[in-house]
Amino acid sequence: MREGWLAARVRRYVSPNMDARELASRLVRASTGDRPEESAEGSVEAMHIEGANHNLSAPPEAERTFVTAVGEWLAQSVEA
């Protein structure tokens, strides 16, 4: 089973001190637990869209970036 994590950072909801990339990495590590090979195989992945807000309305390309990446990720899941 594959898992994906997307973390958005918006001051309204999240501390400006939070490192979104580090949080995503921690979620990946927590998801793989004692199975770090799964992270290496790509069964658990984190995605970071630079500057994206919580609903992907900004920056303008955030929504398209997300939808494209999820489509590719799902296609790879079916092939696997």
Which tens digits make up the pLDDT trace of 37-67? Answer: 655 566 778 888 888 888 889 899 999 999 9
> What SS3 class is residue 44?
strand
8 Å CB contact between 65 and 53: no
pTM: 0.68
Q: What are φ and ψ of residue 44, in 5° steps?
A: -130, 120
How many residues in the chain? 80
State how far the Cα of 47 lies from the Cα of 41, in Å rounded to an integer. 15
Kindly indicate the confidence band of residue 3, based on its pLDDT and cuts at 50, 70 and 90. Answer: confident
| DSSP state, residue 65 | H
Give the whole-angstrom CA distance, residue 7 versus residue 25.
Answer: 10
